[in-house]
Amino acid sequence: MIEFKSKNSILLTGAGFTKNFGGFLGSEMWAQIFNDIEIQNNNNLRGLLQEDYDFESVYSTVMTGKFSEEDKNVMKRVVERAYKNLDDATKDWVFNTDSPHPVNWYGWNKLTNLFAGEGDTKGLFFTLNQDIFIERKNGHRSPGAPFFAQELYNGHCRDFTPDKFVTLPREDAVIKAEQAFKDHAGLTYIKLHGSYGWRSSDGSNQMVIGKNKSELIEKEPLLKWYSELFQQVIKEGGKKILIVGYGFGDQHINQVLVDGVNNHDLKIYIISTKPPSELKNLFDRGGHYYARDILKGLRGYFPYQLKEIFPGNQDETVHFNKIREALQRAD
């Protein structure tokens, strides 16, 4: 891996982040998929979704199980449409007080500026999101990934169609990523699970979803490099990580966080609308018992929507001040 020093505080977002701007949580993605006419006309897939309300689990079952090629192709098309619906739901979001999601975007940017790099120190914004909301709003581009058409980053791309998709590199993928990473200043945006609009380097549609994410990531050189980068940063030691909208359902992510807490003095701060007791219940009863030690690293919990932290009237709230103080103080 490349040698570098990262900023003491890093950012990680999940699906709950985009929910603040009209996006979908996992249960809503299930509904998008279940309601699709191709699913309703397919007894096998409809029945599977009626038994399992985790759309990622269903996707894995279909892609790796004894389903027909027709069923697999239907599932691929429907999931891609669901992500397009997610993009359609968020692409027109603008900050104003009349918006149904009146998050002060300038306030959010004040928060992300706390993670920006300085000089030779890299600033890092990791995400598990596969939507392209951040690309549309702030023009962020992940190092090593081919760029979308310029109009997507400047807000002029209204309809993101498959002809605008890009294919990830296979040959020299890591070399290209390392060079782009070295050359980038400010805040580096890393899409750990790939992206809507990224096609795999083997020519298939790259969407890292399902219960076998680690295997999928290992097969994709750029995503493998991203994963190793995330682990490397945590292992630098003494980091503070602010987690926004992640439901702690990904074993490979949880294991990195647990290792960070137990072996590398990782301090965890969470913004989530769920009460902390729900997180404890997930670890104790939801099949993620191995991740209980994440709670040992918890140093701050902020049970708010982003519009409460960054209200439309642009006030600097006590919530934001507490988050900023927690990230900036010397522990």
Q: Where are the domains of the chain?
A: 5-22+97-328, 25-92
> How far, in Å, CA of 258 to CA of 224, rounded?
19
Which residues of the chain fall short of a pLDDT of 50?
none
pLDDT at 119: 84
Question: What are the tens digits of pLDDT across the range 191-240?
Answer: 999 999 998 888 766 577 777 888 888 889 999 999 999 999 999 999 99
> How far, in Å, CA of 137 to CA of 103, rounded?
13
The residues near 52 (Cβ < 8 Å, ≥ 6 apart) are: 58, 61
CA distances to 19, 22, 153, 219, 292 from 89, in Å: 10, 6, 17, 31, 35
Q: Which of 272, 266, 228 is nearest to 246 (CA)?
A: 272
pLDDT at 29: 95
Q: Which of 266, 220, 264 is nearest to 12 (CA)?
A: 266
> How far, in Å, CA of 39 to CA of 200, rounded?
24
Q: Which residue bears the tokens 């992500």?
A: 83
Q: What is the mean pLDDT of the chain?
A: 93
> How far, in Å, CA of 242 to CA of 168, rounded?
28
pLDDT at 180: 93
Question: Which runs of E-coded beta strand occur in 245-320?
Answer: 267-271, 298-302
pLDDT at 177: 94
pLDDT at 81: 94
Residue 143: Cβ within 10 Å count: 20
pLDDT at 209: 76
Four-point Cα dihedral 281, 287, 288, 289, nearest 10: 80
CA distances to 18, 144, 225 from 160, in Å: 18, 21, 27
